[in-house]
Structure 1
Amino acid sequence: MTDIHLYTAATMNGYKPVIFLEEAGVPYDLTFIDFSKQEQKAPDYLKLNPNGKIPTIVDRSEDRPIFESGAILWHLAERYGQFLPYDPVGRSEVMQWLFFQVGHIGPMMGQAMYFQRIAAPNGHEEPFSIKRYVEESRRLLEVLDRWLEGKEWIAADQYTIADMAIYPWARAYLWAKVSIDGLPNLQAWFDRIDARPAVQRALTIPKAQPAFWGQADESDFLKENAARFASDVISER
Structure 2
Amino acid sequence: MTKQTAPIDLFFFPTPNGYKISIMLEELGVPYKVHTIHIGKGDQFRPEFLEISPNNKIPAIVDPEGPGGHPISIFESGAILKYLAQKFGELYPTDPREQVKVDEWLFWQVGGFGPMLGQNHHFALYAPEKIDYAIKRYRDETHRLYRVLDTQLRGKDYIVGSFSIADIATIGWANGYERQGIDLAEFPNVAAWLKRVNDRPAVQRGLAVKAADEQKVDLTQDDDAKKVLFNQR
What is the TM-score with the length of structure 1 in the denominator?
Answer: 0.87
Deviation (angstroms), 1:140: 0.5
The aligned counterpart of 1:217 is: none
CA distance in 2, matches of 1:55, 1:201: 17
Secondary structure at the aligned position of 1:48 is classed as coil
Detail structure 1 runs of 4+ shifted over 6 Å in the superposition.
Answer: none
User: 1:100 deviation in Å?
Assistant: 0.4
Kept after mapping to 2: 8 A contact 1:5/1:59: yes
* Cα root mean square deviation, aligned: 2.2
Give 1:12's aligned amino acid.
P
Once the two structures are TM-superposed, the CA of residue 6 in structure 1 deviates from its matched residue by: 0.5
From 197, 206, 212, give the equivalent of 2:210. 206
2:98 maps to 90
Please state how far the C-alpha of 1:50 moved relative to its aligned partner.
0.6
Instruction: State how far apart, in whole Å, the 1-side matches of 2:141 and 2:223 are.
Output: 23
Separation of aligned partners in 2, 1:65 and 1:77: 15
CA deviation profile, 1:123-179 (whole Å, cap 9, x unmatched) = 222211111011101100001111111111111x21000000011112211122233
CA separation of 1:226 and 1:113: change in aligned 2, threshold 3 A: farther
The alpha-carbon distance between structure 1 residues 228 and 176, as it changes in their structure 2 partners (threshold 3 A), is farther
Q: Write out aligned runs for 1:109-124 (5 A).
A: 109-119=117-127, 123-124=128-129
Contact 2:177 2:183 in 1 (8 A): yes
SS at structure 1 position matched to 2:107: helix
The aligned amino acid for 1:73 is L
Show the counterpart of 2:140.
135
The residue number in structure 1 matching 2:197 is 193
**In structure 2, do the counterparts of structure 1 residues 228 and 160 end up closer, same or farther at CA, with 3 Å as the change threshold?**
same
Q: Which has the higher contact order (CA 8 A, sep 6+)?
A: 2
Residues 2 and 29 of structure 1 are in contact (CA less than 8 Å); yes or no, is this contact kept in structure 2? Answer: no
Q: Is the 8 A contact 1:118 1:230 kept in 2?
A: no
Structure 2 unaligned residues grouped into runs of 5+? none
Distance in 1 between residues matched to 2:166 and 2:6, nearest whole Å: 25
- Give the structure with the higher percent helix: 1
The match for 2:56 is 52
Unaligned runs of 5+ in 1: 213-219
User: What secondary structure sits across from 2:40 in the alignment?
Assistant: helix
How far 1:89 sits from its partner (Å)? 1.1
User: Are 1:141 and 1:180, in contact at CA under 8 Å, matched by a contact in 2?
Assistant: no
Secondary structure at 2:55's aligned position in 1?
coil
The TM-score, its normalising length taken from structure 2, stands at: 0.88
CA contact (8 A) 2:40 2:229 kept: no
Partner of 2:47: 43
Aligned length: 222
Query: What is the CA-CA distance between 1:196 and the residue it aligns to?
Result: 0.9
Deviation at residue 221 of structure 1 after TM alignment: 4.8
